Structure 1
């Protein structure tokens, strides 16, 4: 057995832990680039805190998915502002933008030179500036991952800028910051976290350390996602989901993902739908196709046992089968009103192109079994 394991050097978890961000930023630099979402009002507390510390920030607002042009332009602006530390406060898109900007502040080549699939995938030559990542949603685990997902409208796909040096220096996970998420966002981000935990658990790159995190994360998500969806003010549920998201980010960085995220990249690039909702719409179909393919071609694969254990964790039934896990996920998606691929605008005419792009996606490398194009299009058929 051989594996490597890496995560953020420092993780700070707990209610109201975000109040320490100005002090933390002051230890890392003198000129702060603050990356936020579309509304500055939601993070006024961070702006005020940094100003009170004498760190009036250069603010970059990310609306929607970070794309190649937006990141490139803002990197130039942040360099001109002399920023030497980045604080990113927001959802997965904001954190991804923060990671990319921290890297581009010291690595000045064209962004495409660093992007996978559509670019050259070149390694960083300089260490990024220090980064503090502060999630306000519970889903992507981006606060502890080594990649930034960036949309290329020109290519109609989301791809990654990736380096172990891009893992944030400090992850501050404050469950209180997630309490104002509406039910639809709670559902989408929560399903993203659950998907990441499940894909990392059955991945062909899983290891004992990621397995432990996935088991704990799935248990917490199984008991608390629906609760958080029904009652966003439930502190225990929000804490569980914040931990599930955190664990999912650590797990996926060290064990890779699978076909759900392989499809999520091209689907997210071509159709306007939340990443987590896309993952949720695909998850039960990917489970079904993967399980059938493993039984036919690799019946002794440990991933089959992992699917069974996943079902036991999700359902709480020690006698659960992989099919029981599929049923549980489908029912959860229905209860939380997750849209189907058809609702997102996907049609059968898109299947062939989407299957080809998914097969080429970096996330597909962790899928527990190599899927044929027929099986890939079968996933889309089931998910439609």
Structure 2
């Protein structure tokens, strides 16, 4: 048995832990680049907290997906203002932006040198600036991953800037920060977290530590996703979701992902659609076709048994099968009004381009079996329409 495992230098988890920020920040630098979303109401308390802690912050806002050009501009601005560490407060896009800016504060070459797929993919030459990642959603687990996903508008694709040093210095996870998420955001981020757990669990690069994290995350997810979608103030369910998201981030950072995220990058680059909704639209067809491919060809990774185990964990039924779980997943996606790919403007004419781009994605490297072009096409075709309620009921 041989494997490596890497994560943030320090993980702080729990309700009310945002109150520890004043004691955490001053030790990391003298001037913070505060990377946030666009909500001034949410930004102000964090800005004032950093100011009172004696570390003069400079605020930078990310609205929507972080683009390659925008990140390069913000990094230049943060350097000019003398920022020497980063506090990223927001959803996955904000935290990805913060990690990329922390890397570019100390690595000043053209950003294209460091990007995968469309750039040179060169390693960083200097350690990134310290970074505190504070998630306000429970979905991406970006607070404990070593990459930042950026949108290249020029190339119409999402790509990663990746390096072990990009793991945040501190991941500060406070479930109370997720209490105000509306149902639609809860659904898209929660299903993204579920998909990350499932893909990392069946990944060909999985190891015993990532497996343990996925099992715990899937168990908590099965007990909480639908509860928190119906009642957003359910703090116990919010805590379970925040922890499941953290488990997913820890797992994917070390085990990788699979075909769903392989498609999500190209789709997100070509069409304006939330990442979590794209992944959720692809969930049923991808899991079904992956499972059938493993049954029809050699399962060299033990993924078939893991699919069965995942079904039992999320349905909380020791006799559950993958078919039971697939029915349940289609049902919950319908209950949460997950759209089909056509809702994002994707047509059947786009499928060949998306397949070719997905095959180059780094996420595809973790898929438990190499899918044929015909299977990849079938996933997209089957995902074009919104899911219809099945017979099973899944209260995740």
Q: TM-score range by the shorter chain?
A: over 0.9
Aligned positions of 1:17-56 closer than 5 A: 17-56=17-56
In the other structure, the counterpart of 1:176 is 176
In the other structure, the counterpart of 1:327 is 327
Residue pair 2:258, 2:367 contacting (<8 A) in 1 also = yes
In the other structure, the counterpart of 1:85 is 85
Aligned-pair distance for 1:344? 1.4
In the other structure, the counterpart of 1:243 is 243
Equivalent residue pairs, number:
384
Structure 1: any 5+ residue segments left out of the alignment? none
Aligned-pair distance for 1:156? 0.5
In the other structure, the counterpart of 1:358 is 358
Structure 2 CA distance for aligned equivalents of residues 42 and 182 of structure 1: 15
Aligned positions of 1:119-158 closer than 5 A: 119-158=119-158
Aligned-pair distance for 1:301? 4.1
Aligned-pair distance for 1:371? 0.6
In the other structure, the counterpart of 2:317 is 317
Aligned-pair distance for 1:329? 1.2
1:238-286 Cα shifts (integer Å, max 9, x gaps): 0000001000000000101000000000011111111011111111111
Equivalent position SS for 1:34: strand
Aligned-pair distance for 1:54? 2.1
In the alignment, is residue 289 of structure 1 matched against residue 289 of structure 2? yes
1:278-325 Cα shifts (integer Å, max 9, x gaps): 111111111011011111111464001000111111112211111112
Structure 2 CA distance for aligned equivalents of residues 116 and 90 of structure 1: 24
In the other structure, the counterpart of 2:65 is 65
Residue pair 1:294, 1:301 contacting (<8 A) in 2 also = no
In the other structure, the counterpart of 2:74 is 74
Over 3 Å counting, the alpha-carbon distance change for 1:67 and 1:320 in structure 2 is: same
Structure 1 CA distance for aligned equivalents of residues 19 and 34 of structure 2: 15
Equivalent position SS for 1:35: strand
Which runs of structure 1 show a deviation greater than 2 angstroms over 4 or more consecutive aligned residues? none
In the other structure, the counterpart of 1:341 is 341
Q: Tell me whether 323-332 or 84-93 shows the greater mean CA deviation.
A: 323-332
Equivalent position SS for 1:213: helix
Aligned positions of 1:208-287 closer than 5 A: 208-287=208-287
In the other structure, the counterpart of 1:380 is 380
Structure 1 CA distance for aligned equivalents of residues 140 and 274 of structure 2: 12
In the other structure, the counterpart of 2:308 is 308
Structure 2 CA distance for aligned equivalents of residues 86 and 40 of structure 1: 18
Q: Tell me whether 173-182 or 42-51 shows the greater mean CA deviation.
A: 42-51
Aligned-pair distance for 1:17? 0.4
Structure 2 CA distance for aligned equivalents of residues 23 and 110 of structure 1: 35
Over 3 Å counting, the alpha-carbon distance change for 1:301 and 1:122 in structure 2 is: closer
Structure 1 CA distance for aligned equivalents of residues 345 and 168 of structure 2: 35
Structure 2 CA distance for aligned equivalents of residues 284 and 238 of structure 1: 24
* Root mean square deviation of aligned Cα: 0.8
Structure 2 CA distance for aligned equivalents of residues 142 and 330 of structure 1: 26
Equivalent position SS for 2:317: coil
In the alignment, is residue 164 of structure 1 matched against residue 164 of structure 2? yes
Residue pair 2:29, 2:55 contacting (<8 A) in 1 also = no
In the alignment, is residue 15 of structure 1 matched against residue 15 of structure 2? yes
Aligned-pair distance for 1:56? 2.4
Structure 2 CA distance for aligned equivalents of residues 61 and 19 of structure 1: 22
